[in-house]
Amino acid sequence: MPTLAFKLNDHLYLRDPQHTQLGQKIIHSSMLLIDQLGFEQFTFKKLAEEIDSTEASIYRYFENKHRLLVYLIAWYWNWMEYRIEIFTSAVADPKEKLKTCLRILAEEKKYDPTFEFVNEEALHRIVIAELDKTYLTKGVDDLNKEGLFGGFKSVCGKIASLIHVINPNYPFAESLVSTVLITANQQLFFASHLPSLTSLEANESRFNRLYSFLENIVFCSINAENNYA
């Protein structure tokens, strides 16, 4: 059975992990391990033990653990873009398209059988807890030049262009979208760990509440009459 694989920027890895068994084990197990331990406590040595391989072998796939994280999170944004594509292609009205995007971003992430070796629930927790660490580093500019944030930028750009269609006079489309993409994850983190910083609760309702919050922010801002240019 043919497993779907994303074509990711090939600067993200040294050897493409999607195409070998060891590579797939690296992706699969690193997700679980980073989720469990957190990125700081995660090491290639621990991962090697987990998959009965060696540090040296893992280094043939990824230059270092930071790049592995960037890879995993790039995979996530590719997955988001793929889902947005699927669920908005049939929708004509740009406002409805935009709502669908927000729903996809806010919804609970569940196992997607399209991608065998990826545990989307663990990956989402990684995105929530580690996303910012991909770019909050002195090396951002180099990573960016290599195009490693392409997935995130692409999602951001597509949603921003919907906003441009809905209201060409709204002057903060890109900022609004990047804010929403990031806050969607951040608010879930706060709900779990710093509840006084969020209006969401740590129960099942939080995904619907999150959607309402995002919809409120986005539509109120772009529909407003008084656009501060």
Identify the sign of the CA torsion 88, 165, 187, 185. positive
45 near DNA, rule: CB under 7 A? yes
Among 1, 56, 136, 220, binds DNA (CB under 7 A): 56
Interface characters, 14-43, with DNA (x: CB under 7 A): -x----xxxx-----------------x-x
What one-character-per-residue DSSP string does 102-167 give?
A: HHHHHSPP---TTSTT--HHHHHHHHHHHHHHHHSSTTHHHHHHTTTTHHHHHHHHHHHHHHHHH-
- Output the CA torsion sign for 49, 54, 58, 64: positive
> Which one of its own copies, DNA, none interacts with residue 153, CB within 5 to 8 A by kind?
its own copies
What number of other Cβ atoms are within 10 A of residue 123's Cβ? Answer: 23
Q: Could you say which of 3, 64, 114, 144 contacts its own copies (CB under 8 A)?
A: 144
Give me the residues that bind its own copies (CB under 8 A), please.
37-38, 40-41, 129-130, 132-133, 135-138, 140-141, 144, 149, 152-153, 156-157, 171-176, 178-179, 182-183, 186-187, 189-190, 193-194, 196-200, 212-213, 215-217, 220-221, 223-224, 227-228
